[in-house]
């Protein structure tokens, strides 16, 4: 079963606007990650936030994590047409060695940025 | 990022035949994963490995087996392919920062 669920399923914005995507999850986590997938390609890691962190930045990306609400958001500021892609959140239960070192992915959000 | 190569990139096979997909990495990463991606389901974990000869099942492992006889190669075998196994298969490795690096995928069609 999926751990993370992204919202909305699809988002269409104008270039230059900000894009906000949300992820909710059900069980406790060690970390939460966001990935981007361009059409026909593999997923690309964007950012990781640990359960003891509340906010993290990377370039035009800002990720927040609220463990009390079991939710995360990904904000892309000043969007570009090249940001058009699918975005996935993924949760990790543990970063310890062994059997729990796996990520569970959501179904993804399709972002379209209109030029 | 790790060099990670999947082969083949595309394959069409007949129902009932065995199929093996290969994932090769060049940087001695310990953790490797096989996912399948289907419309409406996102990515689902099939099997993963946390070392040579150490593998475990994911959420959709029925009909699949894996082998990891050396660090750089992780093989996924469909023992007897079915139409429900038509999918895009992705291999991934876990980097030191705990993020995953994915291969380019194998598009498998079972007819």
d(C-alpha A26, C-alpha B30), whole Å: 28
Return the residue in A23, A102, A110 with the most chain B beta carbons within 10 A, the one to mutate for interface testing: A102
Return the residue in B100, B102, B105, B106 with the most chain A beta carbons within 10 A, the one to mutate for interface testing: B100
- The tens-digit pLDDT sequence of chain A (115 residues) is 457 788 889 999 999 999 999 999 998 899 999 999 999 899 999 999 999 999 999 999 999 999 999 999 999 999 999 999 999 999 998 766 655 668 999 999 999 999 9
DSSP chain B: ---EEEE-SEEEE-TT--EEEEEEESS--S-EEEEEEETTTEEEEEEEEEETTEEEE-TT-TTEEEEEEETTEEEEEESS--GGG-EEEEEEEE-TTS-EEE---EEEEE-
- Taking the CA of residue A81 and the nearest CA in chain B, the distance in Å comes to 22
d(C-alpha B42, C-alpha B58), whole Å: 14
Residues of B in contact with A39 (CB under 8 A): none
- CB spacing of A105 vs B104 below 8 angstroms: no
pLDDT for res B71 = 95
Interface of B with A in 32-91 (CB under 8 A): 33, 35, 40-45, 48, 50, 56, 58-59, 90
Coil vs helix vs strand at A8 = coil
pLDDT for res A3 = 72
d(C-alpha B63, C-alpha B36), whole Å: 13
pLDDT for res A99 = 54
- CB spacing of A45 vs B31 below 8 angstroms: no
Q: What is the dihedral of CA B77, B78, B80, B81, to 10 degrees?
A: -140
Mean pLDDT by 10 residues, chain B (111 residues): 86 97 94 94 93 92 97 97 98 90 97 97
Residues of A in contact with B48 (CB under 8 A): 101-102
């Amino acid at each position: 079963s999926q751990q993370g669920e992204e919202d909305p399923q699809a988002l269409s914005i104008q270039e230059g606007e900000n894009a906000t995507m949300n992820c909710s999850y059900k069980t406790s986590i060690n970390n939460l990650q966001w990935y981007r997938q361009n059409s026909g390609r593999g997923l690309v890691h964007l950012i990781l936030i640990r359960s003891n962190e509340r906010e993290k930045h990377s370039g035009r990306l800002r990720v927040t994590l609220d463990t009390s609400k079991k939710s995360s958001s990904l904000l892309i500021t000043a969007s570009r047409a090249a940001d058009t892609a699918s975005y996935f959140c993924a949760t990790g239960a543990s970063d310890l060695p062994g059997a729990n070192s796996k990520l569970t992915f959501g179904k993804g959000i399709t972002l379209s940025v209109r030029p | 990022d790790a060099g990670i190569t999947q082969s083949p990139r595309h394959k069409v096979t007949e129902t009932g035949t065995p199929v093996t997909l290969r994932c090769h990495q060049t940087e001695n990463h310990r953790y490797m994963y096989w996912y399948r991606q289907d419309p409406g389901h996102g990515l689902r974990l099939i099997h993963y490995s946390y070392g040579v000869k150490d593998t475990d099942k994911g959420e959709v492992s029925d009909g699949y087996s894996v082998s990891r006889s050396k660090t750089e190669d992780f093989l996924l075998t469909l023992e007897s392919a079915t139409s429900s196994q038509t999918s895009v298969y992705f291999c991934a490795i876990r980097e030191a920062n705990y993020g995953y690096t994915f291969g380019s995928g194998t598009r498998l069609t079972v007819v």
